[in-house]
Structure formats: structure tokens, C-alpha cells
Structure 1
Amino acid sequence: MPVTPSTFRAPPFLRNGHLQTILPVLLPRHVRTFFTRERLELSDGDFLDLDWLRRGASRLAILTHGLEGSSTQTYIRGMAATLARAGWDVLAYNFRGCSGEPNRLPRAYHSGETGDLRSVIARATADYSTLALVGFSLGGNVILKYLGESPSDRAIRTAVAICAPIDLAACARKLDQRWTNRIYLRRFIVSLVQKIEAKGELFPGIVDATAARRMRTFQEFDDRYTGPLHGFRDADDYWTQSSARQFLPNITVPTLLLQPRNDPFLAPEAYPWSEAETNPQLFLETPDSGGHVGFLDLRHGLQPWSERRTAEFLNSHVAT
């Protein structure tokens, strides 16, 4: 241990991973969450937009969204509302270029970008001495990598990562190669290409977007754009350096990793059994169902079980 038995039980008609993934998008619940925005200026001349939900708590949960997401996503707003009711203030930050306004530099964000998270944490510790991290998908990889890189960060007391592609190469290839995943792949690639074309207009001497519309896979896109724009040789170099799995043995705070076994985005390499068995601070929970950031059990309407499980885990390790 701590490979943790899961209490999540999907209804019989919702056990399919694709249904769990798609239904929360088709049937989004209305969440009344009112963020206050702050712009954080970065040392390289760029910025991050931070969205705060303050209720006067003494502890803060920092939320990180997934690929091409933002703080407007229902899963972010729902988690923020749930954690606020559980006694946390919340900060949901938007990756570069994801807040509704283009960022200022040719680079953007990527799966291993922990420097920006470090800047957010530095800003948060000006107001809070007790922090938790909660990351979804790509954001889950980011927080796990950060925790492994910075095991001495005393402000971070606990964390939860949900559906994190901790082996980026294996997960990218699963999305690239399985025909059943083409609906997700296409949606991501279209959004990424649109942003690269906008970058090409802003930085014509740096970003060549002429081939962007011919991109059909993450391998092609990360080879041509994500890797080189962020200092990596190519997609393989980017995936190798940025995957969080290699950092899991260094995690020193109680950290829950929720990885449904039927998540269509996750390859077998994204289930770190051996690391959880040897690191007493890494709690791996692998319910049979849940899809990708789904976890619908319908016990509380459309509220996903993962919100309740996250609040429970954080509160079990940090007193109010």
C-alpha cells in the first residue's frame, strides 16, 4: 500500500469509459461560482490570469486545468464550489494563452511547465501558509512533476491528481493510434492549430504555421511546435523530460492519484503500481470506471464523485 480500494461505483448503464467522458460535456451542470480575477506578471514579460474564490478560509487549494481548458470549465468550477463548501479558499489559474486572451510570447504552456506553477505558488504563499494542489489531466501531470521536483516545498501539504497522463509518450500514442479516440484527438488538434495560426500572425519570423492544418496527431504537432517552442528537441524529448511518472518516487506529501481503468486517454504506463507500493505518500486509486474526468455516479445529480473524494482526501490530511 497505498494502492487504495475505490468507493466509486458507476450505474450499470454508465460504466463505459467513453460515456463517462462525453456525458459531462453534453450535459454540463450549472455551477454558480464567482471568481475574482488577478493578473500575475511573470519575470519573462508574460502573464498568467488567476481566478480566486475567497471565503475567508486559512488554507488554499490551487486548481490546474487540462489541455486546452481554462478556469471556465465545469470541472474546475464544480471542484472550486465543492472545496469552498469543504472549508477551502480556491485559486484556479489559467495556463498561458488559456484565459481568453493570447499570451505575449511565442511560447505558451505544456505538460511539464512547472515554472509557471512555481510562480503561482509564490504568489499564493503571500496570503496563505497552507496549500493543496489539485490537477486535472495535463494539469495533473504538472502538479505531480512539481511535487517530485520540489519535495521541500513546505507550503504544499497535500495534493490530488485526476486522470493524469504521467507517461506522455504512451498516452499520446494511444490517442494518436486508436480509432475510438479520434473524436478527442480531432477536438484537441483543431484547438491547438487555431492557436498556432494566431501565433504565426503575431510572430511570423518565429512561428511558421503554414503546415499546421496538415497536422493530424500529437506526434506531428509536438514534433513541429510544442517541443521546439519550449526548448525541447522534438516530441520524444519533450515527452521524456516532461512525464511525471519519473518524479513520483520523490513525492513527500500525501498525494492521491485517481486513474480510472477505463479512461480512454490513459495507456497502461499511466498506472504507477510499483511507485505507489514503494512510496507511502502516493495513494493510487484505480476505480473500474470513471472515464476521463467523468466519475458520474448520479448520487448527487450531475456532481462527479471525484469532487467529493477530493474534498475528503484533502480534509483528511489538512485540518481546518
Structure 2
Amino acid sequence: MELGSDLDWSSSSAAYSLLLRALSLIPTSHYLLAASLLLLTFLYRFLELHILQDLFSFSSGSPVTLTYNSGSRFYDAVVSKCKLLHGSYRATPWLSSPHLQTVFLNFFGRPPFFKYRRQLFTTPDGGTIALDWLMSSDVSGGTIHMDDVISKDDSTPIVVVIPGLTSDSSSAYLKHLAYHTAKCGWKVVVSNHRGLGGVSITSDCFYNAGWTVDVRTVVNYLHKENPRAPLFVVGTSIGANILIKYLGEEGENIPVAGAVAVCSPWDLLIGDRFITRRRVQKFYDKALAIGLQGYAKLHQPHFSRLANWEGIEKSVSIRDFDNHATRIVGKYETVDTYYRRCSSSIYVQSVSIPLLCISALDDPVCTREAIPWDECRANKNVVLATVKHGGHLAFFEGITASGLWWVRAVNEFLDELHSSHFMHVQKKISKPSTPLDSSIDQGPYVNVTEDGMVAALNNEPKSDNVEEIQDTHRDTVHIITPFKKYLSQLSRQNRWSTWLLVYIAITTSWPVVGSALYILFGKKKRNVLPDGLVRR
């Protein structure tokens, strides 16, 4: 047995020796070629390259998919005339990756060269906002007149731009937008966030993903100073989230003729989970966290006093920064509470002006998972345009990557909207209710109102002019009357809702009805039974 084992071992060793000798005969260049192919395959998948799909596809690029309400007159009159939104987008060949596009935009971007005109605007709470203006004369070589910034008799349209997170008017993508919009003959004003654009923090208020106070104040100011000029608003990234939330909060009582939201994160809670899911997303998470730390260091005295400075310095992600700074300054209980309350997806249903939303399905920062498809389709004022490729705020096109596709799409849309009869006109009506304003979320008690509907009871103090009804008989009538008056209405409602109302009516009126039944049957009992038995 031992001799057989030795023979097997020697034969195996000889086989491995022959294999190694054969491998050594393969040229080193072949190994390098194989390693290069493996590396390229890894990078192709890791960077989500799509150059091969673009080369072997016979189409002219990625078609633009539009999501809208089938009964939308706004779509029929405006969006249907936009050729770019009914065409396709072909990415720059050497930037055929959402990551390459996004990184190239932030480090290079190839922005046009021009100079803004700065106006410092003071908010009611003492804050300072830098409004950077760009006129058509600034990009066409015409004569510059400083009073063109605020000309009350001018009807030239004004486009208000809301930047993204830690971005300001000097960002490459905003320069592309401002330059080409001014080229169309319009006025552009970039409303920089507080503390950005080289301006100091002058109050204890900071911007965040749901801070709509500043855009509301700036828009109202511009409308007051330029009553004849149509106002349009364009939001990018976090600025798009702020814009949609602002539109949903205001409803029709807003002096904005139309708006565009580009690469909105929509749902901040989903975005938070997405950006920490894969290693490549964590790169963006870390990069944005470094940008937020830089913003905090610019205003360290304020953050040291109002937030957790030690935690800010140790932050390695957006969530860490929001936990140690944004949540505390904004007075939110938890980070998730901040994300839920500031997400724009819940406000889409309340948007009452023409709104175009543009998103890339391969956006490495704002995931497609957060897009509220059904809400956009249900609102006749909203049109959602999605493209398969484009990255985050990039959408480079052409061999030289000299232009951004979404900038051309925005300008074409605004031009069509401006020439149509669908520009929104402000209406003085009450603001729409949002899910956060629902009284159902504020109290665990319910009450049946006179119209037969179930409403929540809050623990708020009653006003002095409300008379409390203390009479038991009137309470009983108050509860039973709605059932008589709206019996036909309740019969058409859901069966469970009807039984819920019946249950509430029985439980709330039982003390009165029970007392009446006890008195009634008590008297009958005394009349029927013998006197001796009753005495016992």
C-alpha cells in the first residue's frame, strides 16, 4: 500500500511539474494581455460604461421617456412642441459612463467665461443671500447698464436658479445654464444658498434640503420689483428638491409662471440608503461630506455654537454631517425625521403650476428608485422626462463635450411655455394641505363630524368663540343626525368604513342609550314582577 501511494504522489508531482513548465513557455505579453482584459472588464462593469451598447446600437442615442397625465392640456400645448424632449440623447463617446460624466463635470466642466453682477439681498431674519445676475448684454457684447438688474418697467423674463448641495454660481453646470439662457435674451439670477458664493453667515439660519424660506422670499421680492416680468425657477439637485417642495407648499398662490427640476433626489431617505449601498456610491458620499465640512469650516463660529463641532469634524458621510449639524440646527428629532419631512416626493401632488422634471436613470447620486412615477403621472401640471444615461447634472453631448443636453432642453421648454397661454398667473387662494399637515397624524382620537366624515381630534385648546355643548340629549342628536342625513352617501363607501362609523356611534352614545334602556326596562320589571319578589 505504501509503495502504491508513493507512486501516485510521484505521478501527481510530475504532472504539476509538466503543467508549470508548459505555463512558463507562454510569453509574458500574453499574461499581460489577459490581465488587461480582466481589468478592463472589471472597470467596464464598475464604472457602468455603455460605449459598446452605443456603438452596436443602431439608434441615434437614448430616447427620452415622458411620463405625464393623459388628460394634461399643459403637455399638449407646451411639452408636445419640444423637439428635444421627443428626441434622444447621445452621450459623448469618451464619457460613456455616469461616473465619468459626473466627475468630469465637477473637475473640468468646460464652463463658458463671463462675469456676474452681484446683488446682496438681506432676508427678514437678518441673513444675507448673494444674487448673481447675468443679462443678455453680458454675453452678447452689448452695452452694460447696471440699472437693468431691477427695472420695474421691463417685461423681460427672469429665470431664478437654485443651486445644488454646496454649489454656487461659480459651478460649471450653473455657468452653462446661465450663459445659454442669457443668450436667449432672458435675465438670469442665481440665488446662492446662505453662506455660499463668498458671503458670510449673518444669522442663525442655515439652508438645508427642505429650506424653502429663502426661495420664497427671493421670488416674492423679485416679483414685487419686476411686476411685469414673468418669473421662472430652475432647481438643480438639492435645489430641485427645494423647488418642488416650495411649489407644493404654495399651490396656486405663487408668482411663478413655470419651473424645471433637474436631477432631484425626490426621497431623501431612499437616497441616503442608496448612496451607502455600493463602494462607488460611497465615493460620492465621502466627497459630498468633505464639501459639507468645508462649508462648515467657513462658518465655524456659528456651527461651533449651534451644532456639534466635534461630530462635524469626524463626519465621513452626509448622514454623519446631517446628524451632527443639519438636524440640530434645523431642530429635527432624528436624521430620518429630517429626511422624511424635507423630501419633495410628497409635495408633487400639490404642484399647481407647469413643472418639467428631468432625471437620468443612471444618476450615481440621485437614484431612480426615489422617482415618484405615479405621483407625476397623476398631476396634470407635471411632466417627467427620463433619459437612460446622463449622470448627475452632466448630460455631456458632442465629440468635444462642450455642451450639456439638459441645458438646451430647459431653454427650449421655457421658451415654448413663455410663448403659450399656459404660464401660471398667481391666484390668491389658501395653500394646499400636505400629508404633514393632516390632523390624522397629530392625534390618536377620532370624531364624527356633521358631514358624516371621520376626523381626528387634536389636543389643541379650543377657541373662545366655540360654545361647548354639555346637554346629553344634544350630544346624542349631534352623533346620530349625520347617519340619518347621509345614509345614502355612507352606503356607497367602503364596507369597512361604514362599520367603523357604526362602531364609533355605538360606543360614543352608549352611556346615554344605556341609561335610557336601564330606566325603561327597570320600570317594566317592577310592573311585571310581584311586589314581594321586587322587594327581595
TM-score range, shorter chain: over 0.9
| Alpha-carbon distance in structure 1 between the residues aligned to 2:299 and 2:175 | 28
Total equivalences in the alignment: 320
2:193 corresponds to 1:95: yes
Please tell me whether Structure 1 or Structure 2 has the larger radius of gyration of its CA atoms.
2
Cα shift at 1:274: 0.6
For 1:52, the aligned partner's letter is W
User: 1:280 & 1:34 partners in 2: Cα distance?
Assistant: 39
SS of 1:148's partner is helix
Contact 1:176 1:219 survives alignment (8 Å): no
* Structure 1 residues 203 and 185: CA distance shift in structure 2, 3 A: closer
Q: Which moved more, 1:268-277 or 1:138-147?
A: 268-277
Structure 2 match to 1:127: 226
Counterpart for residue 63 of structure 1: 161
Matched residue, 2:268 = 168
The offset of 1:5, in angstroms, is: 5.4
Provide the secondary structure at the position in 1 that maps to 2:215.
helix
SS of the aligned residue for 1:134 comes to strand
Instruction: Indicate how the Cα distance of structure 1 residues 106 and 277 shifts in structure 2: closer, same or farther if over 3 A, else same.
Output: same
1:153 maps to amino acid? N
| SS of equivalent residue, structure 2 residue 264 | coil
Cα distance, 1:13 vs structure 2: 4.4
Aligned pairs (5 A) from 1:170-189 = 170-189=270-289
Aligned residue type for 1:259: S
Deviation, structure 1 residue 197: 4.1
Alpha carbons of structure 1 residues 40 and 250: separation in structure 2 relative to 1, 3 Å: same
The offset of 1:264, in angstroms, is: 0.4
Q: CA separation in 2, counterparts of 1:293 and 1:42?
A: 29
Tell me the distance in 1 between the aligned counterparts of 2:256 and 2:318.
32
In structure 2, what is the Cα distance between the partners aligned to 1:2 and 1:204? Answer: 46
Aligned residue in 2 for 1:261: 361
Identify if the C-alpha distance between structure 1 residues 169 and 231 changes in structure 2 by more than 3 Å, giving closer, same or farther. Answer: same
Matched with 1:105 is: 203
Q: Which runs of 5+ in 1 are unaligned?
A: none
- Asked if structure 1 preserves the Cα contact closer than 8 Å seen for 2:309 and 2:324, the reply is no
Q: Structure 2 CA distance, aligned partners of 1:220 and 1:98? A: 21
In structure 2, the partner of 1:77 is 175
Q: What's 2:387 paired with?
A: 287
Which residue number corresponds to residue 47 of structure 1? Answer: 128
In 1, distance between residues paired with 2:367 and 2:414? Answer: 27
1:248 aligns with 2:348: yes
* Gap regions ≥5 residues in structure 2: 1-66, 70-84, 137-147, 149-154, 421-536
> What SS class does the counterpart of residue 159 from structure 1 fall into?
strand
Check if 1:115 corresponds to 2:196: no
Q: Which has the larger share of helix? A: 2
Which of 65, 68, 75 is 1:2 aligned to?
Answer: 68
CA RMSD of aligned residues (A): 2.1
Distance in 1 between the 2:320 and 2:268 partners? 14
Quote the residue 2:468 is aligned against: none
The answer to whether the Cα contact below 8 Å between 2:92 and 2:399 also exists between their aligned partners in 1 is: no
Pair 111,203 (structure 1): closer, same or farther in 2 beyond 3 Å: closer
Query: Does the residue aligned with 1:38 lie in a helix, a strand or coil?
Result: strand
The letter for the 1-side match of 2:206 is: A
Query: C-alpha displacement at 1:208, in angstroms?
Result: 3.0
TM-score, normalised with respect to structure 2: 0.57
The amino acid that maps onto 1:190 is I
Contact map agreement 1:261 1:286 (CA 8 A) in 2? yes
Measure the CA separation in 2 of the matches of 1:5 and 1:272. Answer: 21
CA contact (8 A) 1:164 1:270 kept: no
In the TM superposition, residue 12 of structure 1 has moved relative to its aligned partner by 4.7
What SS does structure 2 have at the residue aligned with 1:237? helix
| CA displacement 1:72-95 (0-9 Å, x = unmatched) | 111111101111122321110110
Paired residues of 2:290 and 2:316 also in contact (CA < 8 A): no
Deviations 1:204-231, CA, capped at 9 Å, x for gaps: 4433311222212222221221012012
Q: Structure 2: which amino acid aligns with 1:131?
A: L
User: Does structure 1 retain, via aligned residues, the 8 Å contact 2:266–2:370?
Assistant: yes
Between the aligned partners of 2:90 and 2:357, the Cα distance in structure 1 is 17
**Separation of aligned partners in 1, 2:185 and 2:310:** 49
| Structure 1 position 148, deviation (Å) | 0.9
> Higher relative CO (CA 8 A, sep ≥ 6), structure 1 or 2?
1
User: SS of 1:102's equivalent?
Assistant: coil
Write the distance in 2 (CA, Å) between the matches of 1:220 and 1:149. 28
Corresponding residue to 1:138 among 238, 242, 247: 238
**Normalising by the residue count of structure 1, what TM-score does the alignment of the two structures yield?**
0.93
Q: After the TM superposition, which residues 21-32 of structure 1 pair with which residues of structure 2 at under 5 Å, given as runs?
A: 21-32=102-113
**2:129 aligns to what SS in structure 1?**
strand
Which range moves more in the overlay, 185-194 or 164-173? 185-194
- Structure 2 Cα separation of the partners of residues 254 and 317 of structure 1: 8
CA gap 1:192/1:106 in 2 versus in 1, 3 angstroms: farther
- Contact 1:111–1:139 at 8 Å: present in 2 too? yes
Where does residue 238 of structure 1 map in the other structure?
338
Residues 1:228 and 2:294 aligned together: no
